[in-house]
């Protein structure tokens, strides 16, 4: 069974009728709003959790991950893992792993990076995370995009994916 979610409406709009699992969208107007959305998602999708972030360079994947980790209770300064590939962070309930697959083609499996998937009790946040879909039958996919190329605004679509029998 995949882990459950909590009801939380603030800032998230339910997209009706897309699937039996949830799909939500939000349109944060600036980086601070995106960060706050990340923190809200941490509350909505409590651990254990694998979160796969996608979207072009500079769209805000790291910003959202920073908010998510802060929402979990991580106290460290969270930086982009683009160069180190994996940043482990302790939070009050365990470990969180912030991963960036951008420089890895093809992407190695999680165990090669010493990242626990399944996530045990923790959280795994993966920027450029699509290649890890195959390892995570239970996951949250967060897709970020620019509604208009010049604007500050972003579109964030959140999908909860739970393949039957996942993590069982
Ligand atoms: N609405 C917005 N949402 C998120 N980031 C924004 C927004 N407007 C401007 N920004 C800026 O865009 C940049 C996003 O960078 P980052 O989070 O590192 O992206 P990525 O990890 O996707 O490459 C930050 O400098 C942030 O301040
Ligand atoms: Mg990034």
Q: 91-128, pLDDT tens digit by residue? A: 999 999 999 999 999 999 999 999 999 998 999 999 99
Task: Output phi, psi for 124, to 5 deg.
Answer: -120, 115
Cα(164) to ligand 1 centroid in Å equals: 34
Residues 68-94 pLDDT 10s: 999 999 999 999 988 889 999 999 999
Is the CB of 57 inside a 6 Å radius of any atom of ligand 1? yes
Instruction: Output the DSSP codes for the chain.
Output: ---------TT-EE-TTS-SS-EEEE--SSHHHHHHHHHHHHHHSPSSEEEEEE--TTSSHHHHHHHHHHHHT--SPP---TTTSEEEEEETTEEEEEEE-TT-SSPPPGGGGT--SS-TTSEEEEET-GGGGGG-SEEEEEEEE-SSTT-S--EEEEEEEE-TTTT-
Q: Where are the domains of the chain?
A: 48-55+68-143
Measuring from atom 3 of ligand 1, which residue has the nearest CA?
A: 31
Q: Which atom of ligand 1 is nearest to the CA of 30?
A: 1
Contact indicator for 58, 20 with CB cutoff of 8 Å: no
Lookup result for tokens 């697959």: 101
pTM of the model: 0.91
State the pLDDT at residue 15: 46
Average pLDDT for 140-153: 86
Cα(65) to ligand 2 centroid in Å equals: 9
Which ligand is closest to the CA of 151, given by its number? 1
Cα(62) to ligand 1 centroid in Å equals: 7
Instruction: Say yes or no: domain 48-55+68-143 is CATH 2.40.50.140.
Output: no
Is the CB of 152 inside a 6 Å radius of any atom of ligand 1? yes
Residues 17-43 pLDDT 10s: 333 368 889 999 899 999 999 999 999
């Amino acid at each position: 069974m995949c882990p459950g979610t909590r009801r939380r409406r603030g800032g998230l709009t339910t997209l009706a009728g897309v699937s039996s699992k949830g799909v939500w969208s939000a349109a944060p107007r600036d980086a601070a709003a995106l960060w706050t959305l990340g923190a809200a998602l941490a509350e909505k999708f409590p651990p254990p959790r694998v979160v796969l972030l996608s979207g072009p360079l500079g769209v805000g994947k790291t910003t959202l991950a920073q908010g998510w980790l802060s929402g979990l209770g991580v106290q460290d300064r969270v930086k982009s893992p683009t160069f180190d590939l994996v940043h482990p962070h302790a939070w009050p309930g365990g470990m969180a792993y912030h991963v960036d697959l951008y420089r890895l083609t093809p992407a190695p499996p999680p165990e090669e990076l010493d990242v626990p998937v399944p996530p045990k009790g923790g959280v795994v946040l993966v920027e450029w995370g699509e290649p890890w879909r195959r390892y995570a039958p239970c996951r949250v996919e967060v897709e970020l995009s620019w509604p208009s190329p010049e604007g500050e605004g972003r579109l964030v679509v959140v999908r909860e994916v739970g393949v039957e029998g996942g993590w069982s």
